[in-house]
C-alpha cells in the first residue's frame, strides 16, 4: 500500500480577479521531508499555504495533506498541521502562557505541558509576559511554539525566520530540525537562501504562480551553470575540442581560457587532459544565483 | 482544558462593552430614579405637550414612575448599548481579520461555525450584562427615593430589551463577515440602528408614520407595556427571530469567504471596477 504524500496538490489554481496567483500547480511532498518553497514576493507561496489550511479556496484543482482533502476534510487536515503565518499577529492582551492555553484548548487540550515548557526554555522565551511586550524575535518564537503545540505531523511555515537576527534564526531552526528528525514534514517558504541550502532536501521554485522547478538542492546546484578558468603552460589551445565537451568559451587570453559549463565538469577535464594545464579554477554558483536565474528566466542559467 | 475558549475570549474582549455599557445603564437608571421626585414636583398639575406623553408609549405621564422611566431611560439607553454592541459585533470577525489574528485562529482544528457561534455566545453575555446592569441602579435609587414601581417590572423591561440589542449585534456580525472592512460594518449597522430609532420616535409624533414604526425593531421592544400593563413577552422575543436569521446568514457568509492574510484595512476601491495600468511609453 502506498503511503499518502504529506502534501499533494493537483492542478491547483487560484485567481484573484484578473490576477492568477497560482497556475495549475502540481506538487508532491513526501512525509518526513524538509521542503523549501521559494519564490519572489507575489509568486504564490503564501496563497498555496493558505489553501492548504482552507483559509482561502482554490479556483480549481485540489490539495490534500496526509491524504485528507484540504477543503472537504479541513478539520482532519488542521488537526495534523502546525502553522506559522508569515505576518504573525498575536493577541496583545494575553500573556505567552495564556496564548498557549487558548490554542491548546482549541486542540482539545491534547498538548504536552512538559514539552511546551521544554520548548519555551530552549528558546529562552518568557511565557509570563504579555504578547504585546514581546520583541519581533520573541513573537516569532511564540509563533513557532504555537505551531508545534500539538506535535503536528506537518509543519507549514511561512517565512519562519523572516526579520530575525541570526542567533534567533539558529534557535528556531534547531527546534524545527529536531521536529523533522522526529518524523514531521516541514514545508516552509523562504527568501533566505542560506537556510534553504543548509536545511532543505528538496526545493520547489514558484514564479508568477507557476511551479518552475522541483528538485533536490544538490541536483539543482550540480546542474547549474558554473564558471571554469584554465591556465595553460603555453599558448591556450583552440577551443573547439573543449566546446565539444560541453563547455562554452567566454574569454580567451594568451595562456588562459574561461568557460561556462552546465552540469558535471568531467567531460571538460577529460578533454583538458591532452594539454599541459598549470592551473584550473572553478566557481560553483551560489543558490542565490541559481534562484535568481529561475526567477528571471524560469530556467537554469 | 478550558471549555468554550473562544466564547470566553470574546466575552473578555468585549469587557469594555460589558463594563462601560453596564456602568452607563447602572448610573443612568440610578440618576433617573433619583431625579424622579424633583420631576414629579416640578410637573405635577402641568399639562405637558403631547410629545412628552408620546415618548413614554403607553406607560403614561412622566409624572408617573413607569412613564418617566419609559420616557427618559428606555427611549434612549438601549440605543447607546446597541452602539456598544455594534462595535463589539464587528470586532468578532472583521476586527480579528483586520488585526491579522484570524488566520492563526482558523488554522487550528476548529470549524468556522464554532468560531462564529462561540463569539456570538460571548458577546451575547457581554451585551446582556450591559443591558441588565440598569436594574440594580434603579433598585438602589428606589431605596433612596419614593419610586413606586415593582422592581421585577424594571428588571423584566430591561431583560426584554436584550433581544433588541442582540438583533443589532447579529446584524453587526453579519456586516462584519460580508463587508470589506470593519469601519464599513460599524457605519452601516449604526446607521440602520439610528434610522430605526428616528423612525420609531417620529412615529410617536407624526400620525402618518405611526404604522411605519412597525418596521423598526424599536417598536417591538417598547418597554412601556412591561412597566405598567399586562406582560406580553412574545412581542420583544419576536426580535430573536431576525436575530437568529442574521446569525445564520453570518455563518453562511463566514463559511464561504476567504480570510485575508495578516493585518488589513481594505478600502472601498476594492469594489470598484479595475482599470488596466497605462502602458509605459
Among A83, A89, A108, the residue with its CB nearest the CB of B262 is A89
Q: How many Å apart are CA A230 and CA A257, to the nearest integer?
A: 5
Higher pLDDT, A244 or A175: A175
The nearest alpha carbon in chain B to A88 belongs to B262
Computed over every residue of chain A, the mean pLDDT equals 86
Same structural domain for residues A149 and A239?
no
Residue A248's pLDDT is 76
Which tens digit of pLDDT belongs to each residue from A165-195? 888 888 888 888 898 898 999 999 887 677 7
- Do A66 and A131 belong together in one domain? yes
Q: How confident is the model at residue B261 (pLDDT cuts 50, 70, 90)?
A: low
pLDDT score of B194: 93
Question: In the prediction, which pLDDT does A298 show?
Answer: 54
Q: For residues A175, A180, A183 and A185, what is the CA-based torsion angle, rounded to 10 degrees?
A: 120
Domain assignment present for A299: no
Which positions in chain A touch B100 (Cβ < 8 Å)? 85, 87, 89
The answer on A154 and A103 residing in a single domain is: yes
Any domain includes A75: yes
| A36 and A62 fall within a common domain | yes
Domain ranges, residue A237: 225-283
Q: Do B262 and A109 touch (CB under 8 A)?
A: no
Could you give the number of structural domains in chain A?
A: 2
Asked whether the predicted pLDDT for residue B31 surpasses 90, the reply is: yes
Residues 22-51 of A with CB under 8 A from B: 46, 50
**What CATH number is associated with residue A255?**
3.30.70.1560
* pLDDT the model gives residue A218: 80
Q: What is the predicted pLDDT for the residue at A300?
A: 44
In a domain, A260, yes or no: yes
For residue A112, give the chain B residue with the closest CA. Answer: B1
Contact: B110, A79; criterion CB under 8 Å: no
Examine residue A292 and state whether it is found in any structural domain, yes or no: no
Residue B207: the pLDDT is: 82
The chain-wide mean pLDDT, for chain B, equals: 86
A204 at B interface, C-beta within 8 A: no
For B254, name the nearest residue in chain A, comparing CA atoms only: A55
Residue B51 predicted with pLDDT over 70: no
A86:B262 CB<8 A: yes
CATH number assigned to the domain comprising residue A113: 3.40.50.300
Instruction: Determine the 3-state secondary structure of A279 from DSSP.
Output: strand
- Whether residues B109 and A79 touch (CB distance < 8 A) is answered with yes
Mean per-residue pLDDT, B93-113: 92
Which residue in chain B has the smallest CA separation from A86?
B262
Chain A residue numbers touching B106 (CB-CB < 8 A): 53-55
Are A74 and A105 in a shared domain? yes
Q: Are residues A115 and A185 in the same domain?
A: yes
Does A47 map to a domain? yes
CB pairs under 8 A between A and B: 78
What residues in A contact B274, CB-CB < 8 Å? 17-18
Give B-chain residues touching A102 at CB under 8 angstroms: 2, 5, 9
Question: Do A36 and A134 sit in the same domain of this protein?
Answer: yes
Most confident of A75-89, A281-295, B46-60, B261-275: A75-89
Q: Residue A272 domain-assigned?
A: yes
Tell whether A18 is covered by a domain. yes
Same domain, A112 and A195: yes
Predicted local confidence at residue B268, as pLDDT: 46
Would residue A295 count as lying in a domain?
A: no
When scoring A85, A97, A148 by the number of chain B Cβ atoms within 10 A, the one with the most, hence best to mutate, is A85
Residues of A in contact with B91 (CB under 8 A): none
| Residues A212 and A235 occupy one common structural domain | no
Residue A25 and residue A155 in one domain:
yes
pLDDT in the model for residue A9: 96
Residues A22 and A96 in one domain: yes
User: What is the domain partition of chain B in residue ranges?
Assistant: 5-258
Interface confidence (ipTM) of the complex: 0.81
Q: Does A229 lie in the same domain as A174?
A: no
**Rounded distance between C-alpha atoms, residue B189 and residue B165, angstroms:** 12
- What pLDDT score does B265 carry? 43
Amino acid at each position: 500500500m502506498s503511503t499518502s504524500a504529506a502534501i499533494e496538490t493537483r492542478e491547483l489554481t487560484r485567481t484573484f480577479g484578473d490576477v492568477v496567483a497560482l497556475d495549475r500547480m502540481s506538487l508532491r511532498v513526501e512525509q518526513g521531508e524538509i521542503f523549501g518553497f521559494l519564490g519572489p514576493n507575489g509568486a504564490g507561496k503564501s496563497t498555496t499555504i493558505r489553501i492548504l489550511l482552507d483559509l482561502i479556496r482554490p479556483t480549481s484543482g485540489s490539495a490534500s495533506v496526509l491524504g485528507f482533502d484540504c477543503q472537504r476534510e479541513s478539520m482532519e487536515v488542521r488537526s495534523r498541521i502546525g502553522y506559522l503565518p508569515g505576518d504573525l499577529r498575536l493577541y496583545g492582551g494575553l500573556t505567552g502562557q495564556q496564548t498557549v492555553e487558548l490554542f491548546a484548548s482549541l486542540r482539545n487540550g491534547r498538548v504536552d505541558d512538559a514539552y511546551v515548557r521544554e520548548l519555551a526554555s530552549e528558546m529562552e522565551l518568557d511565557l509570563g509576559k504579555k504578547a504585546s511586550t514581546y520583541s519581533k524575535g520573541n513573537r516569532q518564537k511564540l509563533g513557532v511554539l504555537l505551531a508545534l503545540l500539538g506535535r503536528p505531523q506537518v509543519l507549514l511555515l511561512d517565512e519562519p525566520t523572516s526579520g530575525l537576527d541570526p542567533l534567533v534564526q539558529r534557535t528556531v531552526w534547531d527546534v524545527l530540525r529536531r521536529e523533522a528528525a522526529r518524523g514531521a514534514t516541514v514545508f516552509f517558504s523562504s527568501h533566505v537562501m542560506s537556510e534553504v541550502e543548509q536545511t532543505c532536501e528538496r526545493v520547489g521554485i514558484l514564479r508568477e504562480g507557476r511551479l518552475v522547478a522541483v528538485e533536490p538542492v544538490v541536483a539543482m546546484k550540480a546542474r547549474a551553470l558554473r564558471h571554469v578558468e584554465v591556465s595553460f603552460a603555453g599558448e591556450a589551445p583552440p577551443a573547439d575540442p573543449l566546446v565539444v565537451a560541453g563547455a562554452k568559451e567566454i574569454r580567451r587570453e594568451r595562456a588562459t581560457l574561461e568557460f561556462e559549463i552546465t552540469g558535471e565538469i568531467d567531460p571538460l577535464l577529460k578533454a583538458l587532459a591532452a594539454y599541459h594545464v598549470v592551473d584550473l579554477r572553478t566557481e560553483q554558483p551560489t543558490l542565490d544565483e541559481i534562484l535568481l536565474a529561475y526567477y528571471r528566466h524560469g530556467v537554469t542559467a | 482544558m478550558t471549555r468554550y475558549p473562544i466564547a470566553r475570549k470574546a466575552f473578555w474582549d468585549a469587557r469594555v462593552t460589558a463594563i462601560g455599557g453596564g456602568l452607563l445603564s447602572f448610573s443612568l437608571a440610578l440618576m433617573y430614579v433619583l431625579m424622579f421626585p424633583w420631576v414629579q414636583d416640578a410637573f405635577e398639575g402641568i399639562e405637558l405637550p403631547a410629545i412628552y406623553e408620546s415618548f413614554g408609549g403607553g406607560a403614561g405621564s412622566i409624572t408617573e414612575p413607569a412613564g418617566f422611566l419609559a420616557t427618559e431611560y428606555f427611549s434612549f439607553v438601549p440605543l447607546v448599548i446597541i452602539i456598544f454592541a455594534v462595535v463589539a459585533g464587528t470586532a468578532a470577525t472583521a476586527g480579528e481579520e483586520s488585526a491579522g489574528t484570524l488566520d492563526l485562529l482558523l488554522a487550528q482544528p476548529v470549524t468556522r461555525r464554532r468560531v462564529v457561534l462561540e463569539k456570538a455566545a460571548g458577546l451575547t453575555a457581554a451585551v446582556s450584562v450591559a443591558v441588565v446592569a440598569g436594574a440594580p441602579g434603579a433598585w438602589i435609587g428606589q431605596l433612596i427615593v419614593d419610586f413606586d414601581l415593582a422592581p421585577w417590572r424594571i428588571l423584566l423591561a430591561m431583560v426584554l430589551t436584550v433581544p433588541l440589542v442582540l438583533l443589532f449585534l447579529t446584524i453587526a456580525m453579519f456586516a462584519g463577515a460580508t463587508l470589506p472592512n470593519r469601519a464599513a460594518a460599524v457605519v452601516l449597522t449604526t446607521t440602520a440602528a439610528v434610522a430605526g430609532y428616528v423612525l420609531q420616535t417620529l412615529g410617536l409624533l407624526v400620525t402618518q408614520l405611526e404604522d411605519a414604526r412597525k418596521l423598526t425593531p424599536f417598536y417591538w421592544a417598547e418597554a412601556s407595556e412591561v412597566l405598567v400593563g399586562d406582560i406580553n413577552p412574545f412581542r420583544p422575543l419576536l426580535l430573536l427571530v431576525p436575530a437568529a436569521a442574521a446569525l445564520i446568514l453570518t455563518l453562511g457568509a463566514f463559511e464561504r469567504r476567504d480570510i485575508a492574510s495578516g493585518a488589513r484595512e481594505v478600502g472601498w476601491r476594492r469594489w470598484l471596477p479595475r482599470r488596466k495600468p497605462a502602458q509605459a511609453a
